[in-house]
Chain A
């Protein structure tokens, strides 16, 4: 007991001394060169397998070493052509069984025609907006040397409506170090599972949290004043970067389920959707990129979506037909 006490006191004294020296040094010698901020990746934890409950069903999701959602039964390690999917929850299609998701079905359909020629990787994550997509493209998609990218911007209108800029509000790219960060590091290092369990047991069990931000209209008064220039800047930059790296890009417009939208909000939903989609159409036309006008192609009802904006199995099947057909057209063109 005495030995333990001595060790304990020594550790405390040592720690206090280190802190005193640390804080005294700047007055004696050097400038402070610490890095207090970093940029968040806004991705799922690489090398993880997710399982969670939603409406009584268990859904699985596998994340590879680069942070992409993959289906290992469809993808193989061989040197193949790759398609990357980029967007938010409506490209992620998380509440659809593994193998039946948008990216899984697109790749399966192409592989039936092209004899296992394609691998698919999904970078989408609920809540991401176009500024996050640009970041994903640069830090993790470009180094994989993709052949195709399917991308669909979402969550932009509501964010710009609320915060006027992607550089403001809760989804900016920074994380600044502070005392909470210290506890976060301890949590991430020593008890990540407990934290995630506690968080996911709340977040994933409440269906309304699964609805994309653009479909949650809070501030009706400001809707028509919202400036979408920043969206266009980020979106067009994304397209141009794909061109610089010779990536074939297929752009989808955002769709929604009119039957699930509150009657008082139907007109507003139409307005917001058309504003964003018109920019997507315009940029696509001006940049000469392939457009998949899902807004006009996907029927706006519960047959294809389980809520106001997320595809169900049938919806994934329908949209994957459209994407795979575009890829087939591009493959034929290239040959």
Chain B
């Protein structure tokens, strides 16, 4: 038995050493053709159905995604699709799915009775607008939605303040997945795809250190960041226009944010409102009152109800003008 094991071990070692030698010698003849780089698709894992408990309230939340990672059930016989993209303020993961504005809007539209509509919630916590753009291109367009709504200001301001450009972002909101070493990518792969639960569990109980941006106080947000922010929203608009999809941008409501961030958000909202982009100014329409918010930026059930009413009215008016 030991002899067989020994022979196997020697053979395996020789094979591996042989492979390594060939691998290292081959670049003399040719080098890799196929890129290791991939574009970050920020989405929830498709086809999930889990229940989790909110720490603060002990409330049980049923969490499910469809086969494209939208926070919806797969449904048949849908005649019209509306997609919402953005970060956690669209996602509303801390609320029961029936309390989210996307679900409430869907109910209102279906109560009108004429067309069976599904409102897809593509919000992913932390996503910026270019993350949402790639989701839109890769998995949104194929649904041929009638409307696409984008809500994205606060994450963008935060990230552009640190990195100045969407293409410079170097964390899990980056456009490309790889600027790291192969070994890092391999270990990261194991973490992301094989040991996801252990990683997130350790992270959620604060056993893993989180990266702290040392330059947090020095904002890198400047005129070029503004131009980039506006242009990315324009990309959404141009692509939607071309695919005959109505694009609507939603300014992001908040209860309270730091002064410096607030002044940037206000200036961006002003530019967007003055542009030709179709906008619903939720930031000014949702009162900055505690009764609508869970925390400083996330809406509660009451806030979601208000948002769904506002968007419902907007869709009705857009339908009437057609």
Binding site for B on A (CB under 8 A): 1, 18, 21-23, 25-26, 29-46, 48-52, 67, 134-135, 138-139, 142-143, 165, 167, 173-175, 177, 181-182, 185-186, 188-194, 196-197, 199-200, 233, 236-237, 240-241, 244-245
Contact = CB atoms under 8 A, between A and B. Distances in A.
B7 interface: no
Interface in B151-192: 165, 167, 175-177, 182-183, 185-186, 189, 192
Given A165-B142, A173-B137, A197 B186 contact: no
A22 B50 contact: no
B42 A35 contact: yes
Interface in B102-126: none
A34 B46 CA distance: 9
A50 B34 CA distance: 11
Given A33-B45, A182-B193, A244-B238, A194 B19 contact: yes
A233 B137 contact: no
28 contacts: A1-B2, A22-B195, A30-B52, A30-B201, A33-B200, A35-B43, A35-B193, A41-B176, A42-B35, A44-B33, A45-B33, A45-B34, A45-B35, A49-B31, A51-B29, A51-B30, A67-B37, A134-B137, A135-B39, A138-B130, A139-B176, A174-B139, A193-B27, A196-B30, A196-B33, A240-B239, A240-B241, A244-B234
A219 to B, nearest CB: 22
Contacts of A175: 38
B138 A174 contact: yes
A34 B196 contact: yes
Nearest to B46: A36
A233 B33 contact: no
Contacts of A194: 19, 22-23, 26
B148 interface: no
A91 to B, nearest CB: 17
A244 B167 CA distance: 17
Given A29-B52, A197-B26, A189 B31 contact: no
Contact of B186 (A29, A48, A185): A185
Contacts of B231: 244-245
Majority SS at the chain B contact face: helix
Nearest to A35: B192
Nearest to B63: A31
Given A45-B35, A193-B31, A240-B242, A22 B40 contact: no
B39 A39 contact: yes
B147 to A, nearest CB: 17
Contacts of A241: 235, 238-239
Interface string B190-228: 001111111011001000000000000000000000000
A185 B2 CA distance: 33
Contact of B201 (A18, A25, A50, A192): A25
Contacts of B33: 44-45, 48, 50, 196, 199-200
B12 to A, nearest CB: 12
Given A26-B197, A33-B45, A41 B32 contact: no
Contact of B41 (A22, A33, A38, A182): A38
Contacts of B39: 38-41, 135, 139, 173
Contacts of B239: 237, 240-241
A34 B198 contact: no
A43 B41 contact: no
Nearest to B181: A189
Nearest to A244: B234
B309 interface: no
Nearest to A45: B32
A237 B35 contact: no
B66 interface: no
A32 B31 contact: no
B155 to A, nearest CB: 17
Contacts of B34: 44-45, 188, 196
B94 to A, nearest CB: 12
Contacts of B23: 190-194
Contacts of B32: 45, 48, 192-193, 196
Contact of A34 (B167, B176, B192, B201): B192
B48 interface: yes
B198 A22 contact: yes
Given A191-B23, A233-B242, A244-B238, A35 B37 contact: no
10 closest A-B pairs (Cβ-Cβ)? A143-B167, A34-B196, A193-B26, A39-B39, A25-B197, A167-B142, A240-B238, A45-B32, A38-B38, A31-B50
B44 interface: yes
Nearest to B195: A22
A188 B36 contact: yes
Given A21-B198, A33-B45, A45-B31, A40 B38 contact: yes
Nearest to B5: A5
B255 interface: no
A37 B43 contact: yes
A174 B195 CA distance: 22
B198 A50 contact: no
B3 to A, nearest CB: 12
Contacts of B22: 193-194
